[in-house]
Amino acid sequence: MRITVTRSGGFAGIVRNATLDTRQQSDAAELTDLARTALEEGRGAPGPVVPDGFFYEVEIDGEMLQWADPHLTAAQSALVKKVLGEGSPGGAP
């Protein structure tokens, strides 16, 4: 499973982007489960934009999703943190 996260907005307005391939992760099964949960919970419209809030564009195996702070579920929040923290920068298709 390939996951790309682009985070924009925020007080600083600095864009961050990273991609993670679960097949290259030691916790692949756990991460795939987390991504599936995040996906199930995150297919609807993002909540209302708040000033300086982070905005996330997430691609999970080709499916595009949009999430906005502070409306992320625990799974969504854990997933974006994991991908931005451990993924490789960039990763645009």
Partner 1 sequence: MTLCHFAGMDAHSKRTGQTRRVHAVFCPIVPPHVLDHLSRSGDPVLYEPARRTLEHDALQRTRRRITTVRMTAGPAAPGEAPEAEKKPRRTISDAEHREQLPGTKVRSEGEDPVDDASVNRAYAGLGATFELFLKAFSRFSIDGAGMPLDATVHYGEKYGNAFWDGERMVFGDGDGEVFRDFTLPVDVIGHELTHGVTQHTVNLAYFGQSGALNESVSDVFGSLIKQYGLGQSADQADWLIGDGLFTDRVEGVALRSMKAPGTAYDDDVLGKDPQPATMEDYVHTGSDNGGVHINSGIPNHAFYRLATGLGGNAWERAGRIWYDALTSGDLAPDADFAAFAGATVSAAASRFGEGGPEREAVVKSWSAVGVSPAEQAPA
Residue ranges in contact with partner 1 by CB under 8 A = 4, 6, 8-15, 17, 45-55, 57, 59, 64, 66, 68-70, 72, 74, 77, 81, 92-93
Closer Cβ to partner 1, 47 or 86, answer by number: 47
Contact 12, 86 (CB under 8 A): no
Phi, psi of 27 (to 5 degrees): -100, 40
User: Considering the complex, what minimum distance in angstroms separates the CB of residue 1 from partner 1?
Assistant: 18
For the chain, give me the number of helices (H) and strands (E)?
A: 2, 5
Contact 5, 66 (CB under 8 A): no
User: Considering the complex, what minimum distance in angstroms separates the CB of residue 53 from partner 1?
Assistant: 5
User: Considering the complex, what minimum distance in angstroms separates the CB of residue 40 from partner 1?
Assistant: 19
